Amino acid sequence: MTVSELHTVFPLLRKQVNGLALPWLENLVHNTLTRRDPFKVLISCILSLRTQDKTTGEASERLFKIAPDIQTMSMLSVKKIEPIIYPVGFYRNKARTILDLCTVLIADYNAKVPDDLDELLKLKGVGRKTANLVRTLGYKKPGICVDTHVHRITNRWGFVDTKNPDKTEFALREKLPQKFWLEINGLLVAFGQGICKPISPWCSRCSIEDFCDKVGVTKFR
């Protein structure tokens, strides 16, 4: 797949993904009744590590119902948070991380989640995926969030040739037109879960099959 082909590919992707399930966070920030909230994006990302999307969404909603902002959440205890977010993976560690984040945000950032990538990466438990999601979904600022789907699919396309998500992010920053940065994660997560699966992808249902190099694909439907 070439850069010029992306201008044909992305409209086709948007149309196909329109009938697929979007990630919970995408639905949260695109809900017209909900304003963009970088703090909720940050906490939901922390909860999502090694946790299914449905479980992350349900735990986030329970937690935000009790503590919708940094100040309120900082007054909770670890023992209070743990049963609220259970059964997310590593819920005990995540409860402590959430409170540590609140303490740092209040002390060092005037109770506001930073929008700068380098500042976000200084926060405990925040990696490049989370930092980019906070920028794109929380602030609608340029960033490229690369998870397993974005890494797998862009390599499968033959658009990049990289070994891990971090390298994929930097390769996409060099090659992907910025107009596509904000939407690539949401599109490819839905597309990867519904069509371009890790094993035996649904190539017969794929609207962009003609543009895909099928790198590494040995079996497909």
Full set of structural domains in the chain with CATH: 6-21+144-211 (1.10.1670.10), 37-138 (1.10.340.30)
Q: Which residues contact 23 (CB under 8 A, 6 or more apart)?
A: 53, 185, 186, 189, 190
Closest CA to 206 of 187, 193, 191: 191
Residue-by-residue pLDDT tens, the chain, 221 positions: 999 999 999 999 999 998 887 777 776 666 544 567 999 999 999 998 888 888 999 999 999 999 999 999 999 999 999 999 999 999 999 999 999 999 999 999 999 999 999 999 999 899 999 999 999 999 999 999 999 999 999 999 999 999 999 999 999 999 999 999 999 998 999 999 999 999 999 999 999 999 999 999 999 99
Give the C-alpha separation, 185 to 167, whole Å: 15
Give the C-alpha separation, 182 to 184, whole Å: 6
| CA dist list (Å): 122 to 116, 117, 154 | 10, 9, 28
Q: Are 195 and 205 in contact (CB under 8 A)?
A: yes
What's the pLDDT score for residue 22? 74
What's the pLDDT score for residue 36? 77
Packing angle between helix 38-48 and helix 53-66, nearest 10 degrees? 130
Which pTM does this prediction carry?
0.88
What's the pLDDT score for residue 52? 86
